[in-house]
Structure 1
Amino acid sequence: MEEKKAAALSAEETSAAPSLNNNTAIISSDEETQGWSTQATKRLLWRLDWHIIPFMSLIYLLCFLDRTNIGNARLDNLEQDLGLKGVQYNDCLAVLFPFYIAAEIPSNMMMKRVRPSVWLTFIMVCWSAAMIGQGFVRNYTQLMVTRALLGVFEGGLFPGVNYYITQWYCRHECGFRMALFFSAATLAGAFGGILARGIAEMSGVGGMAAWQWIFVLEGLLSILVSFTAYWFIFDYPGTARFLTEPERSEVQRRLKEDHGHLSNDFDLKYVFQAIKDWKIYIHMLICMAGFCPIYSFSLFLPTIIKNMGYTANNAQLMSVPPYVCACFFTIAASWFADRARQRAVFMLGFQLVGIAGFSMLVATANPSVQYAGTVLAAIGIYPQIPLGLAWNSGNIGGSLKRGTGIAMQVMGGNCGGIIASYVYLSRDGPRFITGHSILIGFVGMAFFLTSFMTIWCRRENARRDALTGSSGPQELTEEQKALERELADDVPWFRFTV
C-alpha cells in the first residue's frame, strides 16, 4: 500500500495542470514525439477512455440517481406516509445543497492530497450508507438529516471527477470526456423513471412502502459498486497499470506539452488565487443558471408530467424520453465543441433552445405541446454544464488553482439547487407557470453572462496579442517559466479559449 502511495505521489508531481497559451506551443527539443503517429495517439486515447470514463460515468449515474430519486418516491406516497405539509418536501430537497456546496472545495483539496482511488471510494461508501438509511426514516426530521448527510458525501464527486479528468487529457480533449461523464445524469433520470416504475410493484413487501424500497434498493446498488471502486479507479498516468511504460511516458509528455510550466505544487496561495479571480465567479453564476433548471427538472419532472393528466405509473415512464434526447445532445455537442475548440457558441445555442422549451410549457395547456416543451427544455439545459466546465477549467492556470476553480464553479451551480427546490410549489400546480417563468429568467441570465465572457475573452486575447506580438512558437526563458508558475493565466502569453 505504501509503495502504491509513493508511486502515486511521484506521478502526481508530473501530472497535469491546466492549459497554456492557445496560440503558442512551447515544446523543448527533448519533448519531441518519438514514434507516436496520429493513429497511435488515437489508440492511446481510446485506451484511456475505456479504462477511465465508463466507471466514472457509472458512479456519477448512481450519485445523481441517489440525489434525485426522491422525485420518483414522491409519486409513491412519500409525503403522505411521512406527514409532510406545506413546503416541508421542498425543505428536504433544499437541505442537501448547503452541505453539498460546503464539501466541494475541501474535497477537491483532498483529491490533490490523497489518491483519487482512496478518496472517491470513501465518499461513495458513505453516501450509499446514507441512501439506505433514507429508506427507514419515519418523519420529516429524520428525512432532513439523511438528506444533509447525502449532501456532505456526494458533494465531492462531481467537481472531483471533473478535476480528475483534467489530470489525464489535454484541455481540448476534456470537454467530450466531461460530457460523457455528465451524460450519466441524463441516464440517471431515464433509468430512475424505469426503475421506480418497477419498484412500485413492491409496495407492501416486507412491510415497506414502494418509496422506501426505491431508496433501499438504489442505495444497495451504489454500495455494491463502491466496494469495487478502489480497484477500478486509477490514480495518475504515471502509475496506471493498464498502460505500458512507453504509453505512460507519452501521456505525461502530452500533458507537459499542453500544460507548460504551470505550478503543480500543493500550496494554499493557489487556492487564494482562485478565490480572488473574478472570472471564476462569472462562471459560477453561469453554472448556477444552468444547474437551477437541471435540478428543477430532475426533481419535479415526474410531478409535472403527472399534472398533464397521466397516471403516476405512466408519468414515471413518460419522464424517460426527455432524458434520452438530452443525453444524445449533451455528448454530441461536446464532441463537436472539442473539435471546433469552441465552447461559448454552443452554450449560447443550447440556452436559446432551453428558453424555447420552457416558453412552450408556459404558453399552452395542451399536453402534447407541453410534453414537447419538456423535451426541448432537457435538450437545452443539460449540454451547458460539461461545456461550461470545460470552458472554465481550460482557462485556469495551475493544478491546485484549477481544482479549486472547478470546485467553486460547481459550488455556484449547486446554489442553483437550493433555488430549484422551491421553484415548483404545490400551490402553483397543475401548470406551474411561475416555476417555468423563473427558469426562463435563469437561462436568460446564463445567455447574457456567456455572451459577456465570450466578448471579454476575445478582447483580452487581442490585447495580449498586441502586447506580446505574434512571434509564433518560442522557448521561454527560465525567468519566464518561474513567472508563469506564479501567475498562471495572468501571464501575458496565456490565451483564453472561447
Structure 2
Amino acid sequence: MSAHNPSAAEFGKDSPSHLENKDEKLSTHVHEEEVVEAAARGHAATDAHGHSLVHFDPEAEKRLVRKIDLYIVPTVALMYLWCFIDRANIGNARLAGLEKDLGLKGYQYNILLTAFYISYIVFEIPCNLMCKIVGPGKWLPFLTFGFGLFSMLTGFATNFSNAAAIRFLLGMFESGMLPGIAYYMSRWYRKAELGFRLALYIVMAPLAGAFGGLLASGILKLDGIGKVHTWQQLFIVEGIITMGLAIISYFTLTDRPSTARWLSEEEKALAIARVKSENVGTTEVLEKIDTKKVMRGIFNPNTILTSVIFLLDNITVQGLAFFLPTIVATIYPTQTVIQKQLHTVPPYIVGAFFVVLLPFLSWKTRRSLIYFVVSAPLMIIGYAMFLGSTNPQVRYGATFLITSGAFTFGPLCNAQVATNVLTDTARSSAIGTNVMFGNVGGLISTWAFLPFDGPNYPIGNGLNLATSSMVLILSLVLWAYLVYDNRRRDRVDVDATLAGMSDKQIADLDWKHPGHRWHY
C-alpha cells in the first residue's frame, strides 16, 4: 500500500499562506515549495486521513534518493559485513582447531555461542534507544570499534572461561548494529523504498558467510607469528580491519538529513518532507523520546507477529552461520579443511542474490507479505531434503534452497515493522523489538545442532523444518489480520475520533491513529 499523493493541481497557487506557528496545520492552498519547507520546519505533511499534502517532483526525488544511496548505503553495508564476520568466524575457527586448543569438551562450544546471545538479546532495545539519543553517526561507529576490539581479543583466549567472557562482551557491542542501521536508514527513505535499502546492507550477512569462508581459507594459509597461529589469526586480523573501518565511518556517517553537509537546503527540506508525508499526524521527524511512543512501537500487533516470524527464521539463519561449516564437513568428510571452508561459499552467494531480489520486487510492487509467503516454502523443502536423504549431493543442494529462503526475512521483517509505525521513537523501539526476538531465535539455534545428533543431525534439521512451517503459517495469519484491520479502519469516522485532541495527543496515537493504514 502506498500513500496517496494529490496532484499539483490540488494545491491552489494564488493565495500562499504564511505559516508562522509551529502548531498550525498546513493549508492546501499554498505553493508546493512552501508545503515542503513548512513540513521540514515542523508541520504535518498529511491531512487527518493520511493523504499527502505534497506532490513531489519525481525527478527531484530520484536525484535525492541516488545521492542518499551513494552516501549512506556503502558505509553501513561494510559495517554490517564485518559485524557478521566477527560474529560468525567462530564457525570457521572451529574447523581450524579452536575446540582442541581451548580444551573444549561436551557442550562447551554451544555454551560459547550462548554467551554471545545472552548479551545480544538483553542489550538490543536499550542499544537502539541509545542510537536515537546519541545519534547514529556517533553510536554506530562506537559499537563497530567495540565489537572489532573484542573480536581481536578472541584470538588471545586461552581457555573456555575467558573465551566465554569475550563472547559475552562481543554480543553486547554487536547487539545494536542490525536494529541501529535499520532505524538509521528509516530516517532517510520512504516506506516502499526502505525494504530494498535494508536488503543492500543485510545482504552482507550471506556475503559475510561466503567472504568469511574465502577469507578464512586465505588467512589459514599464512604462517603463524610467534605463538599466534591458525584460528587465532582469523580473529586478530579480522578484528583489526573492523576497528579501522569504525574510525573511518565516524567521519563519514551523518545523523539525519538536516545535518547532512552533502545535501543542499532544498534537498534537506525534500528529504524530511518525503518521510513525513507517509506518517499521518506526524509533525516532527525526530521527536524527543517518551514512554508512550516507545510502548507504541513494542506493543503493536504487526511488530509482535513479525517479530515472532523473525525469531523462527533466525533459528535457521544464525544456525547456518555457526554450523554450516560443520554440516559441510559431514557431507564431505574426506576433504581438507580449506576445501570444506570453500564449500560453504556457494550457498551463501545464492542466498545473497535472493536477499536483494525479493526486497527489490517488494519495493517495485509496493507489497511485502507476499514475499514472506514465497520465501518460507524454500526453507521447508530444503529441510525436508535433509531429513529425507543422506546423499551428499542432495543435502548440499538443500543448503542452497535454505539460504535462498531464510536470509530474505532480514530486510523484509525489519522493513515490515519500520513502515507500520509513525513516529521516530516508535520506529526505534519496534525495530529493536523485532531484532531482539530474532536474536532469541539465534540463541535457540546455538542448541539446534548438538554433538550427539551428528553426523546427520535429524533433531536440528527437524526443528528447522518445524520453524519454517510456522513461518509460513504466521505470515498468512499476519496478512489476513492487516487486511481485516484496514477494512475496519475504513469504517471509522476520522474527524469525529480526532475531535478535541491536541497535536501532541494525535502524534502519541501513532499506529492507533484512525487515518493510519497498515502496509503489507
Counterpart-to-counterpart distance in 2, 1:154 and 1:424: 23
Counterpart-to-counterpart distance in 2, 1:386 and 1:23: 28
Counterpart-to-counterpart distance in 1, 2:499 and 2:84: 47
Counterpart-to-counterpart distance in 2, 1:200 and 1:430: 25
The answer on whether the counterparts of 2:40 and 2:269 sit within 8 Å (CA) in structure 1 is no
TM-score (norm 1): 0.91
Counterpart residue number, 2:33: none
Asked whether 1:110 is paired with 2:130, we answer yes
* Equivalent position to 2:227, from 187, 201, 207: 207
TM-score (norm 2): 0.87
Counterpart residue number, 1:254: 274
Asked whether 1:91 is paired with 2:117, we answer no
Q: CA deviation at 1:432?
A: 1.2
The answer on whether the counterparts of 2:119 and 2:168 sit within 8 Å (CA) in structure 1 is yes
Asked whether 1:455 is paired with 2:480, we answer yes
Counterpart residue number, 1:26: 52
- Tell which structure's C-alpha radius of gyration is larger: 2
For residues 200-248 of structure 1, the C-alpha deviation after alignment (integer angstroms, 9 at most, x for no partner) is: 1125432222100000000011011111111111111011111122211
Q: CA deviation at 1:23?
A: 8.2
Q: In proportion to residue count, which structure has more helix?
A: 1
* Equivalent position to 2:176, from 130, 153, 156: 156
Q: 1:412 to 1:26 in 2, by over 3 A?
A: same
Counterpart-to-counterpart distance in 2, 1:153 and 1:21: 41
Counterpart residue number, 2:296: 273
Counterpart-to-counterpart distance in 1, 2:46 and 2:377: 31
Counterpart-to-counterpart distance in 1, 2:299 and 2:459: 36
Counterpart residue number, 1:6: none
Q: Which letter maps to 2:380? A: I
Q: 1:181 to 1:477 in 2, by over 3 A?
A: farther
Q: CA deviation at 1:15?
A: 9.8
270-279 vs 328-337, which moves further: 270-279
* Equivalent position to 1:363, from 388, 406, 415: 388
The answer on whether the counterparts of 1:286 and 1:449 sit within 8 Å (CA) in structure 2 is yes
Counterpart-to-counterpart distance in 2, 1:313 and 1:337: 38
What is the DSSP-based 3-state SS (H/G/I as helix, E as strand, rest coil) of the residue aligned with 1:205? Answer: coil
For residues 38-96 of structure 1, the C-alpha deviation after alignment (integer angstroms, 9 at most, x for no partner) is: 23321211110010011100000000000010000000010011100000000001111
Counterpart-to-counterpart distance in 1, 2:446 and 2:478: 28
Q: Which letter maps to 2:165? A: V
Asked whether 1:494 is paired with 2:520, we answer no
The structure whose RCO (Cα within 8 Å, separation 6+) is larger is: 1
Asked whether 1:77 is paired with 2:97, we answer yes
Counterpart-to-counterpart distance in 2, 1:14 and 1:109: 23
Q: 1:21 to 1:342 in 2, by over 3 A?
A: farther
Asked whether 1:416 is paired with 2:436, we answer no
Counterpart-to-counterpart distance in 1, 2:222 and 2:92: 14
Q: Which letter maps to 1:227? A: I
Q: CA deviation at 1:19?
A: 11
Asked whether 1:190 is paired with 2:216, we answer no
Alignment of 1:427-466 (within 5 A): 427-466=452-491
Q: Which letter maps to 1:271? A: V
Q: Which letter maps to 1:286? A: I
Counterpart residue number, 2:416: 391
Counterpart residue number, 1:42: 62
The answer on whether the counterparts of 1:18 and 1:394 sit within 8 Å (CA) in structure 2 is no
Counterpart-to-counterpart distance in 2, 1:224 and 1:22: 48
Q: CA deviation at 1:253?
A: 1.8
Asked whether 1:245 is paired with 2:245, we answer no
Counterpart-to-counterpart distance in 1, 2:202 and 2:315: 16
Counterpart-to-counterpart distance in 1, 2:426 and 2:130: 14
What is the DSSP-based 3-state SS (H/G/I as helix, E as strand, rest coil) of the residue aligned with 1:55? Answer: helix
Alignment of 1:295-314 (within 5 A): 295-309=318-332, 310-314=335-339
Unaligned segments of structure 1, at least 5 residues: 1-10
Q: Which letter maps to 2:468? A: V
For residues 320-350 of structure 1, the C-alpha deviation after alignment (integer angstroms, 9 at most, x for no partner) is: 1111111111101001101111111111110
The answer on whether the counterparts of 2:453 and 2:459 sit within 8 Å (CA) in structure 1 is yes
Q: CA deviation at 1:18?
A: 13
Counterpart-to-counterpart distance in 2, 1:258 and 1:396: 10
What is the DSSP-based 3-state SS (H/G/I as helix, E as strand, rest coil) of the residue aligned with 1:85? Answer: coil
For residues 411-470 of structure 1, the C-alpha deviation after alignment (integer angstroms, 9 at most, x for no partner) is: 00000111100111122111112111101111111111111110000000011112249x
Q: Which letter maps to 1:360? A: M
Counterpart residue number, 2:450: 425
Alignment of 1:279-294 (within 5 A): 279-294=302-317
Counterpart residue number, 2:355: 330
64-73 vs 116-125, which moves further: 116-125
The answer on whether the counterparts of 1:193 and 1:317 sit within 8 Å (CA) in structure 2 is yes
For residues 276-305 of structure 1, the C-alpha deviation after alignment (integer angstroms, 9 at most, x for no partner) is: 334422222111011110000111101101
The answer on whether the counterparts of 2:116 and 2:171 sit within 8 Å (CA) in structure 1 is yes
271-280 vs 487-496, which moves further: 271-280
The answer on whether the counterparts of 1:344 and 1:454 sit within 8 Å (CA) in structure 2 is yes
Asked whether 1:340 is paired with 2:362, we answer no
Q: Which letter maps to 2:376? A: Q
Q: Which letter maps to 2:52? A: I
Asked whether 1:133 is paired with 2:158, we answer no
Counterpart-to-counterpart distance in 2, 1:457 and 1:272: 20
Q: 1:194 to 1:497 in 2, by over 3 A?
A: same
The answer on whether the counterparts of 2:44 and 2:276 sit within 8 Å (CA) in structure 1 is no
The answer on whether the counterparts of 1:15 and 1:237 sit within 8 Å (CA) in structure 2 is no
Counterpart-to-counterpart distance in 2, 1:224 and 1:246: 34
- In angstroms, what is the RMSD of aligned CA positions? 2.4
Counterpart residue number, 2:6: none
What is the DSSP-based 3-state SS (H/G/I as helix, E as strand, rest coil) of the residue aligned with 1:235? Answer: coil
Q: 1:203 to 1:43 in 2, by over 3 A?
A: same
Q: 1:20 to 1:311 in 2, by over 3 A?
A: farther
The answer on whether the counterparts of 1:17 and 1:166 sit within 8 Å (CA) in structure 2 is no
410-419 vs 478-487, which moves further: 478-487
Runs of 4+ in 1 over 6 A off after TM superposition: 15-23
Counterpart-to-counterpart distance in 2, 1:130 and 1:404: 26
Counterpart residue number, 1:485: 507
Q: 1:485 to 1:82 in 2, by over 3 A?
A: same
Counterpart-to-counterpart distance in 2, 1:24 and 1:204: 62
Counterpart residue number, 2:72: 52
Q: CA deviation at 1:355?
A: 0.8
The answer on whether the counterparts of 1:351 and 1:384 sit within 8 Å (CA) in structure 2 is no
